Structure 1
Amino acid sequence: MAKGVRKIVLSGVAVAALVGGGFGGWHWWTEGRFIESTDNAYVHSDITVVSPKVSAYVREVRVAENQQVAAGDVLAVLDDQDFTAKVAEAEANVAGQKAALGTIASKLELQRALIDQAAASVASAEAEQRRAQQDFDRTRALANESWASKQKFETADADLRKAVAATNKARAALDAEKDQVGVLNASRVETEARLRQAEAALQTARNDLANTVIRAPVDGVVGNRGVQVGQYARPGVQLLSLVPLPDVYVVANFKETQLSRMRPGQAVTVEIDAYPGKRLEGKVESFAPASGSQFSLLPPENATGNFTKIVQRVPVRIALPHDNALAGLLRPGLSVTAEVDTRGSGDAPHVAGSVFGAVRPGQAVASK
């Protein structure tokens, strides 16, 4: 009896093992062999580091750690006394250059009147020269007939010479007055250039004054806030960071041997270690242009005598839907397990510019 029961139990175990093995083999053949997974994956986000554009002491800090802010909200205010003074100085410089332009315009108006006056003097001198010429001609004719004295002839000749000289002088004065217009126009061009320079300096001063109010460039949550009232802020020094939650994605570092059938657009199942049992559906978005080791501080140099082959990993960006079940709960840095379903990829080549770079807008994704 015991042998019969034992035989039945062993038979049942054998049947269960065969059924389990067959089911496992069927599952692997139909699905498992197409799944590429890794636990070397993390939640990421495009974190914005906020730094000042000008150097000044911090007067106010208007946000707290972990506070939600919108683009344009004031984060901090720097002391603006020096920048206000520079704006006033630049405004005065602009006003001075505009006044100089006004003065030149007035001089040009005056110069036109002086030119008209000089032209009138030329006309008067020419008329006097014509009169002197006529007197000279009459006196010379009379002197030739001995009807006029030599003294009178010499006087007429001197008057003619004086009239010619006066005409030449008047014409030279007219030319000088006309040339002065060119000088004034050149001075106006130079002053206009200085005015534009002063206006540019004024705009720069106003920009610096506006930059004393530090605003949020994007919507996000304040993090890593290191700014305090009284701190001396300098350009390039981080004040705080803005994390644009819930806009997050996953970067999974797959082995190079897992990439042969992986394509952009393939479905990905994502499980976050912080929320076990919650599985999210995403899609492969793009592949890094090089392996992670190439972007390290000291890239490997394999052209040495001591070479050991190491399987490289390539970062793969995985997009998550905005309305996923954990929207608003995911934080950059959380650990992830990612599984990519590579079914349907076939032997199609990688899409140019996507597997080793982001998919371009409007670009087709190779699939079957």
Structure 2
Amino acid sequence: MIAGLKRVALAVVLIAALGAAGYYGWRWYDSSRVIQMTDNAYIRGEITGISSRVTGYAVEVLVDDNMPVKADQVLVRIDPRDFRMTVEKSQAALDQAKATLAQVGAQRELEKSKIVVAEASLRAAEAQAKNAEIVLKRATDLLQKGAGTQAAFDSGTAAAVQASSTVDQAEANLAYEREQLTVIDANEAVAKAQVDSAEAALLSAKFALGDTEVWAPIDGIVANRKTRVGEYVTAGTRMLAIVPIDNLWIEANYRETQIERMKVGDPVRIDVDTHPGKPLCGYVESIAPASGSEFALIPPDNATGNFTKIVRRFTVRIRFNASESNAILARPGMSVESAVAVSTPDDVSPTERGRRVGCSFDPDKDVVARPLTKLPEHPGLGRARPQGAAGTQVSPEPAR
């Protein structure tokens, strides 16, 4: 009797254990279908390397590692003396070019006066030639009638020839002066081109002088400072880096078998290894169009040799919610674990799926515009300077 009871009790325990195992197994399988997790994830940010655009000695280094800086703050100053001299030389060259242009303008006015004089000389020569013709005609008539002398006729003929030559000379002189005006027009075009070239050289010199001040393009924290006071810096030398403190994201590398139902806008819980017990909330911002192996220096070639199937990983970009107050704890390079509440056949809303991973998620308030920032043109020297507002904003696709 006792043995029979023991066998019944053992059977009941086994059935209960199997039931519990089946229940929790189903719970695990069901959660693995609606929540996709990975620990192959890291916080990223646009770390900006700062370099000099000009060559010279660093006379001031105004920041050090781990110091916060603001956009447009001067970080390093290069010795500006040579560049100031270049600006002064360029200014003098511009003044000289403008003086040459003014001189050409004065020559134009003088040439116009010479043309007026030449036209007056031509009119006087034409009048004298006409008078000489009249005198010659009178002397010819008198000689034919026997009332005049041969000497008077010869004198009239010579005067007429001389007057005609004077007219030809006056016409040639007028044509010469008018051609000189054409030459002056060409010289004026050359002088204007020299002024434009001098202005461009001056602007370039001012650019170079302005570039002796190396400024921060973004807000952030200084890191990896390499430049020291007195060092000779060449153009393009990496001087330091600025690590952003906001606008960070997570790059989570999920297996290809995990992204079947993953979509842009799915809510995500982020556990940062540095801050255990302080989960952060976010959402899927984008999914890579190709696996990471496709961007490798030497992509795998599965058409040769023995084939071993390896599950590929796709990078999923995750952005923090706009209302996430603990986002200030994130730093680029930190390791995290991410859990994405993927879409389900029952078409549960993103807000409800956010609760499954312990996050409050409102797509209308938590999804932020994806910033694609560029430095606008500065109205003064034309140099790109950071301004308070971000550049082009591109909104992500809505949550599904």
TM-score by length of 1: 0.89
- Corresponding residue of 1:34: 34
Cα distance between partner residues in 1 of 2:309 and 2:7? 52
Is 1:108 matched up with 2:114? no
Cα distance, 1:14–1:41 mapped onto 2, change above 3 Å: same
Contact 1:72 1:215 in 2 (8 A): yes
Cα distance between partner residues in 1 of 2:282 and 2:262? 14
- Corresponding residue of 2:22: 21
Superposed counterparts of 1:132-281, under 5 Å: 132-281=132-281
Cα distance, 1:5–1:90 mapped onto 2, change above 3 Å: same
Cα distance between partner residues in 1 of 2:112 and 2:251? 76
Q: Secondary structure at the match of 2:165?
A: helix
Shift of 1:14: 4.5
Cα distance between partner residues in 2 of 1:364 and 1:43? 22
Cα distance between partner residues in 2 of 1:2 and 1:251? 62
Contact 1:246 1:329 in 2 (8 A): no
Of 306-315 and 46-55, more deviation after overlay is shown by: 306-315
Cα distance between partner residues in 1 of 2:289 and 2:57? 42
Shift of 1:27: 5.9
Shift of 1:342: 1.2
- Corresponding residue of 1:128: 128
Letter of the 1:216 partner, please give it: A
Contact 2:265 2:397 in 1 (8 A): no
- Corresponding residue of 1:59: 59
Cα distance between partner residues in 1 of 2:120 and 2:57? 68
Cα distance between partner residues in 2 of 1:7 and 1:205? 98
Q: Secondary structure at the match of 2:142?
A: helix
- Corresponding residue of 1:283: 283
Q: Secondary structure at the match of 1:25?
A: helix
Of 207-216 and 102-111, more deviation after overlay is shown by: 102-111
Cα distance between partner residues in 2 of 1:302 and 1:134? 112
Cα distance, 1:242–1:322 mapped onto 2, change above 3 Å: farther
Letter of the 1:361 partner, please give it: V
Superposed counterparts of 1:270-349, under 5 Å: 270-344=270-344
Q: What RMSD, in angstroms, separates the aligned Cα atoms of the two structures? A: 2.6
Shift of 1:9: 8.2
Cα distance, 1:78–1:2 mapped onto 2, change above 3 Å: farther
Shift of 1:311: 1.8
Letter of the 2:86 partner, please give it: K
- Corresponding residue of 1:361: 394
Shift of 1:5: 8.7
Shift of 1:69: 0.8
Structure 2 stretches lacking a partner, 5+ long: 348-370, 373-392
Q: Secondary structure at the match of 1:298?
A: coil
Shift of 1:92: 0.9
Cα distance between partner residues in 2 of 1:167 and 1:292? 91
Shift of 1:300: 2.7
What does the per-residue CA deviation read over 1:174-223, in whole Å, with 9 as the maximum and x for residues that have no partner? Answer: 11111111111110111100110111011001000000000001111111
Letter of the 1:177 partner, please give it: E
Shift of 1:113: 1.0
Aligned residues: 356
Letter of the 1:200 partner, please give it: A
Shift of 1:274: 1.0
Contact 1:246 1:322 in 2 (8 A): no
Q: Secondary structure at the match of 2:339?
A: strand
Contact 1:247 1:322 in 2 (8 A): no
Identity of aligned residues (%): 37
- Corresponding residue of 1:98: 98
Q: Secondary structure at the match of 2:327?
A: coil
Letter of the 2:16 partner, please give it: V
